[in-house]
Structure 1
Amino acid sequence: MEAFFCCPQSVSRLQNGPLATFVEGFLDFLLKSGFSHYTTQKHLGYLSHLAAYLHAVNPKHRDKITTKEVELFYQEYAISCRHRSSVEKHLLDVRHSINRFIDYLDKSDLFERQDNHYPFQDILRAYLNWMRDHQHASSGTLKIREHGIRQFLDWLGTKKISASLVGINVDIIEEFFLIYSQRKDIGRAARRSMQSALRTFLRFCFQKKYIDQQLDQAVPTLRTYKLSTVPRGLTESQAQKVLDAIDRSNFVGLRDYAILQLLSTYGVRGGQIRALSLEDIHWQNNQILFRALKNGKDILLPLTSNVGQSLINYLQKARPTCMFPEVFLTSRAPYRPFIHSNALSAIVDRRIRAADIKIHSQGAHAFRHGLATRLINNGHAVKDIADILGHRHLSTTFIYTKVDFNTLKQVALEWPTEEQL
């Protein structure tokens, strides 16, 4: 601890104060996670503010830290904070460091979450458990469902609906969904996600007797038409332009180039890139395995020389040393796999923008749609494309037949002449 602070008071505040039980373990966690000396010092310095607050409230050592204690600290510190630069930015930095500490405590079962102040917490928790145990929802789906239903329940609170859901009816459900759907920051995918979440939640509530009538059909239907849109992807030249624009002289560039090389070559989903593990690369057989997603199927494909070389460059020169089996990790400590899909989407979006390419969809699916379109136009069978993309059902692949312009030309009617008219 003395290596990070010159002030004996700061060291004593951490080593002998209310957080003494946790500080050494947290410091060890920061060092093993690869944090720099400066960042470690910053996290410990902000943690000393929490230690000072807890000492003023109760100087005794804690066995656990609670949600209420942290929330009260944030409130008190925001009032008493005096900082030479931007107070708002300083408060964000403090919150970031304390949240890092909470993550460490949470993983060590030393943090007590107190959600009892949230009136619908019991129902929300029961719903998520039901989704996991009976609907076999993935962790990603559970997070999306929780986010959506929490918005609905928060809105019910403004309507003075009790925690037992007594008083909920068709009009209330329709009112919420219409207000939600008309928000300018909500797209079609978000509206469909909320629609699905509400219906499963209301079915659960009826099954568990929280409500006395079936209300899942009260959620308005969003009219959509199957195969109504044309997939928009990167052309082969655009995909190559994105790859050529990446600076591979640094660690981040080597990682991003390998990611985009995989997307461009195989057209896999972003989630499959995030889940790709070291054991999925079969170097001796020149093969690479992508695990199934969205009720698809595993895909075992040849490992091309370009992809193999980009992976070797990343693994040997840029990938941090850690215990995670996933291939791609964050570029800053703590080094870990990409937990959320938006992290990978942000990388792809940034690289497409850097190449100055204007395209409707700038996520990982831009490469997937582009590959499928090229395969269709080159005359590959739909069944072969379905196998490459990992589609379990051919109907999923049919959307790409709409861009089979070569075949469409054969069935197009000849434009009538003036005499024919």
Structure 2
Amino acid sequence: MLERYFLRPATVDRIRANFAGAYIEHYVGWLRAQGYADRNVFRRVPILCQFGEFASTRGAIDGQTALDHVEAFAQHWVAIHGKSCRSDAARAKVAHDARNPVRQMLELALHGSVGRHRQRKPFPFEAEAPGFAGYLRDERGLKADTVERHAFYLNGLSAFLDSAGAASLASVSPPLLAAFLVERCVGLARTSRRDLCGTLRIFLRYCHRERLVERDLSAVVEVPRVHRLANVPRGITWEEVRDMLSCVDRRCALGRRDYAMLLLLVTYGLRGIEVAQLTLEDIDWQHERLNVPQRKAGHWSAYPLASVVGEAIIDYLKNGRPQTTDRHVFFRSMAPWRPITSAAVSSAAVRYLQRAGVRVHRAGAHTLRHTCVQRLVDAQFSLKTIGDYVGHRSAQSTKIYTKVDVAALREVAMGNGEVL
């Protein structure tokens, strides 16, 4: 594989003679298989060779022991190549550019894959409340994403207690909790404040139940009231949808992928995570049906596959999707070839909404989901039908779209204000 990039035999021999030579050659093959450009190989191999020499002089004998020297090598690299950097951010980028290929090479050598064997961060308060994560998953039945959101809020609490000098959960008091909420809630949306307080209440109630603290402090945390019908749905008009779709350049692989994803969002009202998790098995071409398994409400849905959506997916599968054994439908447009994430789906929606000049509060994948629901409401479908179509667990989730007749309110606002 090295001969494909380096024509001089002496160069190939020098790389293979390096302490990390076998690892480097394996890594170069992985880069090519993942679709990395040749310039990435030419830029990374010299870094890896210097790391091999650096780790060898420090006593590394294999890939496992070489892991201990990655951070030291990154700092060594910055000392040499970061002299002209004028900011900490620039120096951090230089360190990342040296650290990232080394870590990828060692992960590939030790585990056979990249990006799936990073050390898991411990769950907040795992030492004092070791069963809380399991309680969220098993007793409350929360999905992994929701458990991670609880962990995010508790990480903030853990950092605050450390800064306040609180040695353990037993030292948590109402004044400490009040100070944490005052500091943490600054700049948060109402729903985020509600979720933060809800997480604290669940955690404090669990700690008291398990006798980790003497007093149940959950009642001290008051959850702010958030009215379900307080906000207007953030949908857009169908004309704006057409303007957004017309901004997609379907001549390239990225455009073909994004066009298919946008159609799925606005046609079926799917969530971003549901688009990201679609697999080839979920598309039943023979019966012209689209299956959406493992929805938020714990069920699955089946839709007739609209011809325009099917054609867009076929165009992407034939002319845009990378050659891979992974069964997900949508992939990153740049190497390494990995399934797209829900955040990337939402980012694509934001990008094309901005290109079309569509202004909407909190633009994202849910903007198109709301647009789909609002269109069904305008077509006078029943709430039950609409809720089933978009995968709502409760009819209360659908009622928000019936509270305002935006068109009628617009006529009133533009009129003379007289009541007949």
CA–CA separation in structure 2 for the residues paired with 1:203 and 1:79: 50
What runs of 5+ residues in structure 1 fail to find an aligned partner? none
Instruction: Write the deviation string for residues 197-256 of structure 1: whole angstroms up to 9, x where unpaired.
Output: 323333343344433322233333222112221212011111111001111111100110
Aligned to 1:70: 70
Q: Report if aligned partners of 2:297, 2:391 keep a CA contact under 8 Å in 1.
A: no
Structure 2 Cα separation of the partners of residues 239 and 280 of structure 1: 26
Preserved contact between residue 376 and residue 404 of structure 1 (Cα < 8 Å): no
Match of 1:358 in 2: 359
The Cα offsets for residues 77-117 of structure 1, whole Å up to 9 and x where unpaired, read as 4344446677534333224434534654685499784979x
Paired position in structure 2 for 1:148: 153
Please say if 1:347 is aligned against 2:348: yes
Q: Distance in 1 between matches of 2:316 and 2:298?
A: 28
Q: Which amino acid aligns with 2:307?
A: S
What displacement does 1:25 show?
4.0
For residue 140 of structure 2, the aligned residue among 135, 138, 145 is: 135
Deviation at 1:317, TM superposition (A): 0.6
Alpha-carbon distance, 1:10 to partner: 9.2
What value does the CA root-mean-square deviation take over the aligned residues?
A: 3.3
Superposed displacement of residue 147, structure 1: 2.4
C-alpha deviation, 1:389, in angstroms: 0.8
The corresponding residue for 1:273 is 275
Secondary structure of the corresponding residue to residue 400 of structure 2: helix
How does 1:27-46 map onto structure 2 within 5 Å? 27-46=28-47
Residue 247 (structure 2) aligned to one of 239, 245, 253? 245
Contact 2:236 2:368 in 1 (8 A): yes
Separation in 2, partners of 1:197, 1:53: 46
1:319–1:105 CA distance, 2 compared to 1 (3 A): same
* TM norm structure 1: 0.84
SS at match of 1:403: coil
- Conserved in 2, the CA contact under 8 Å of 1:386 and 1:394? yes
Assess, with a 3 A threshold, how the Cα gap between structure 1 residues 277 and 402 changes in structure 2: closer, same or farther. Answer: same
Equivalences for residues 7-406 of structure 1 within 5 A = 12=14, 16-17=18-19, 19=20, 22-63=23-64, 66=67, 69-82=69-82, 88=91, 89-101=93-105, 104=108, 107-108=111-112, 113=119, 122-123=127-128, 126-162=131-167, 164-182=168-186, 184=187, 186-295=188-297, 297-339=299-341, 341-404=342-405
Of 55-64 and 274-283, the range deviating more from structure 2: 55-64
- The alpha-carbon distance between structure 1 residues 107 and 270, as it changes in their structure 2 partners (threshold 3 A), is farther
Instruction: Give the letter for the 1:334 counterpart.
Output: P
Segment drifting more, 211-220 vs 230-239: 211-220
User: Structure 1 residue 364: deviation in Å?
Assistant: 0.8
Change in CA separation of 1:243 and 1:311 when aligned onto 2, cut-off 3 Å: same
Corresponding pairs, count: 406
Question: How far apart, CA to CA, are the structure 2 residues paired with 1:395 and 1:112?
Answer: 40
SS in 2 for 1:260: helix
Distance change in 2, residues 1:189/1:368 (3 Å): same
CA shift for structure 1 position 3:
4.6
The amino acid that maps onto 1:305 is S
Cα 1:178–1:105, aligned 2, differ >3 Å: closer, same or farther? farther
Contact 2:71–2:99 (8 Å) recurs in 1:
no
Q: Secondary structure at the match of 1:288?
A: strand
Q: For 2:51, give the aligned amino acid.
A: L
Instruction: Give the Å deviation of 1:126.
Output: 4.9
Partner of 2:414: none
Greater displacement, 138-147 / 7-16: 7-16
Distance 1:247 1:225 in 2: 40
Structure 2 runs not aligned, ≥5 long: 411-416
